[in-house]
Structure 1
Amino acid sequence: MSGKSSWFRRKNKKSSSDDAPVLGQAPEFDSAALESERGIATSPLNDSVAFAGNRKKHGNRARNRLIMAISCFVGIYAVIGGRLVYYGMQGGDNEGYRAGAASTLAARPDILDRNGEVLATDIKTASLYAEPKKIADPDETLELLATVLPNLDWESTYRRLKSGAGFVWIQRGLTPRQQSQIMALGVPGIGFRTEKSRFYPGGPTASHIVGLVNIDNQGIAGMEKYIDSQGLSDLRMAGLAQPDNLEPFRLSIDLRVQHIMRDELVRAVEKYRAIAAGAVVLNAKTGEVVAMASVPDFDPNNPYNALEKDRLNRMSAGTYEMGSTIKSFTTAMALDSGKFNLESKFDATRPITIGRQTIRDFHGKARWLTLAEVFIYSSNIGSGKEVDAIGIEGHREFLKRVGLLDRMQTELPEVARPVEPRVWKKVHSITISYGHGMMTTPLQTAVAAAALVNGGKLIPPTFLPRTQDEANAVATQVLKPKTSDDMRYLYRLNSEIGSGRRAEVKGYRVGGKTGTAEKVINGRYSKDVRFNAFLAAFPMDDPTYVVLTIIDEPKPEEGKLSATAGLNAAPMVANIIRRSASFLGVSPDFAQDNAPILAAYEND
Structure 2
Amino acid sequence: MTRTPLRPLARILSARQKGENPDVIERENIRLRHEEMREKARQRAEGRLVVLALLFFCIFGVVGGRMATLASSEPAEPTAKASTSRIVAQRADIVDRSGRILATNLRTHSLYAQPPHMVEPEKAARALAKIFPDLDEARLIKDFTGSRKFLWVKKKISPEQKQLVHQIGEPGLLFGPREMRLYPNGKLAAHILGGYGFGREGVYAAEVIGTAGVEKAFDDFLRDPAEQGRPLELSLDLTVQAAVERVLFGGMRLMNAKGATAVIMDVHTGEIVSMASLPDFDPNNRPLPLIEGDRADDPLFNRAVQGVYELGSTFKIITAAQGMQLGLVNAHTELDSQSPLVWGKFRIREWNNKNFGPKLSVTDMIVNSSNVATANLAMMIGQQRQRAFFSELGFFDPTPVELVEAPGAKPLLPKNWSEIVTITTSYGHGMSASPLHLATAYASLLNGGYRVKPTLLKRQGPLLGERVVSEEVSRAARDMLRQVVTRGTATFAEVPGYKVGGKTGTADKPNPRGGYYEDKVIATFAGVFPADAPQYVVVVTLDEPVETSGSKPRRTAGWTAVPVAAEIIRRTAPLLGLRPEIEAATLDELQLTKSR
Query: In which range does the TM-score fall when normalised by the shorter chain?
Result: 0.7 to 0.9
Of 112, 121, 131, 2:104 maps to 121
Of 259, 265, 273, 1:276 maps to 259
Q: Deviations over 1:276-327 (max 9, x none)?
A: 0110110001111001100101001111256574211100111111111111
Q: Report the counterpart of residue 324 of structure 2 in structure 1.
A: 335
2:489 pairs with 1:506: no
User: Given that residues 298 and 305 in structure 1 are in contact (C-alpha distance below 8 angstroms), is that contact kept between their aligned partners in structure 2?
Assistant: no
Structure 1 or 2: more helix by fraction: 1
User: Given that residues 255 and 546 in structure 2 are in contact (C-alpha distance below 8 angstroms), is that contact kept between their aligned partners in structure 1?
Assistant: yes
Of 126, 133, 136, 2:116 maps to 133
Q: Report the counterpart of residue 190 of structure 2 in structure 1.
A: 207
Please report the TM-score for the alignment, with normalisation by the length of structure 2: 0.78
User: Given that residues 269 and 461 in structure 2 are in contact (C-alpha distance below 8 angstroms), is that contact kept between their aligned partners in structure 1?
Assistant: yes
Distance 1:200 1:560 in 2: 45
Deviation for aligned residue 1:245: 2.1
Deviation for aligned residue 1:557: 2.9
User: Given that residues 546 and 560 in structure 2 are in contact (C-alpha distance below 8 angstroms), is that contact kept between their aligned partners in structure 1?
Assistant: no
Deviation for aligned residue 1:353: 2.6
Q: Report the counterpart of residue 376 of structure 2 in structure 1.
A: 385
User: Structure 2: which 5+ residue stretches go unaligned?
Assistant: 1-79, 200-207, 587-596
Distance 1:271 1:284 in 2: 29
Of 554, 572, 589, 2:545 maps to 554
2:162 pairs with 1:179: yes
Distance 1:306 1:376 in 2: 42
SS in 2 for 1:519: strand
2:341 pairs with 1:348: no
Q: How many residues align?
A: 487
Change in Cα spacing, 1:154 to 1:583, as seen in structure 2 (3 Å) is: same
Q: Report the counterpart of residue 466 of structure 1 in structure 2.
A: 459
Change in Cα spacing, 1:127 to 1:436, as seen in structure 2 (3 Å) is: same
Deviation for aligned residue 1:587: 0.5
SS in 1 for 2:364: helix
2:409 pairs with 1:424: no
2:560 pairs with 1:568: yes
Of 512, 526, 530, 1:535 maps to 526
Percent identity over paired residues: 37
2:431 pairs with 1:438: yes
Q: Deviations over 1:100-138 (max 9, x none)?
A: 9965x5111111111111101000111110112223554
Change in Cα spacing, 1:464 to 1:593, as seen in structure 2 (3 Å) is: farther
Change in Cα spacing, 1:154 to 1:194, as seen in structure 2 (3 Å) is: same
What are the equivalent positions in structure 2 for 1:167-316 lying under 5 Å apart?
167-216=150-199, 217-230=208-221, 232-233=222-223, 235=224, 240=225, 245-305=228-288, 309=295, 310=297, 311=299, 312-316=301-305
Change in Cα spacing, 1:152 to 1:215, as seen in structure 2 (3 Å) is: farther
User: Given that residues 509 and 592 in structure 1 are in contact (C-alpha distance below 8 angstroms), is that contact kept between their aligned partners in structure 2?
Assistant: no
Q: Report the counterpart of residue 108 of structure 1 in structure 2.
A: 91
Question: Greater CA deviation, 490-499 or 359-368?
Answer: 359-368
Please report the TM-score for the alignment, with normalisation by the length of structure 1: 0.77
What are the equivalent positions in structure 2 for 1:153-164 lying under 5 Å apart?
153-154=136-137, 157-158=140-141, 160-162=143-145, 164=147
2:307 pairs with 1:324: no
Change in Cα spacing, 1:300 to 1:374, as seen in structure 2 (3 Å) is: same
Q: Report the counterpart of residue 591 of structure 1 in structure 2.
A: 583
Q: Deviations over 1:167-207 (max 9, x none)?
A: 21111221221111111112231111110011111111111
Q: Report the counterpart of residue 18 of structure 1 in structure 2.
A: none
Distance 1:397 1:101 in 2: 52
User: Structure 1: which 5+ residue stretches go unaligned?
Assistant: 1-95, 595-604
Deviation for aligned residue 1:451: 1.2
User: Given that residues 271 and 557 in structure 1 are in contact (C-alpha distance below 8 angstroms), is that contact kept between their aligned partners in structure 2?
Assistant: no
Q: Report the counterpart of residue 77 of structure 2 in structure 1.
A: none
Distance 1:535 1:313 in 2: 18
Distance 1:384 1:550 in 2: 24
Superposition CA RMSD, Å: 2.2
Change in Cα spacing, 1:181 to 1:379, as seen in structure 2 (3 Å) is: same
Q: Deviations over 1:205-236 (max 9, x none)?
A: 11111111014421011111122144x45x4x
Question: Greater CA deviation, 183-192 or 574-583?
Answer: 183-192
Q: Report the counterpart of residue 505 of structure 2 in structure 1.
A: 515
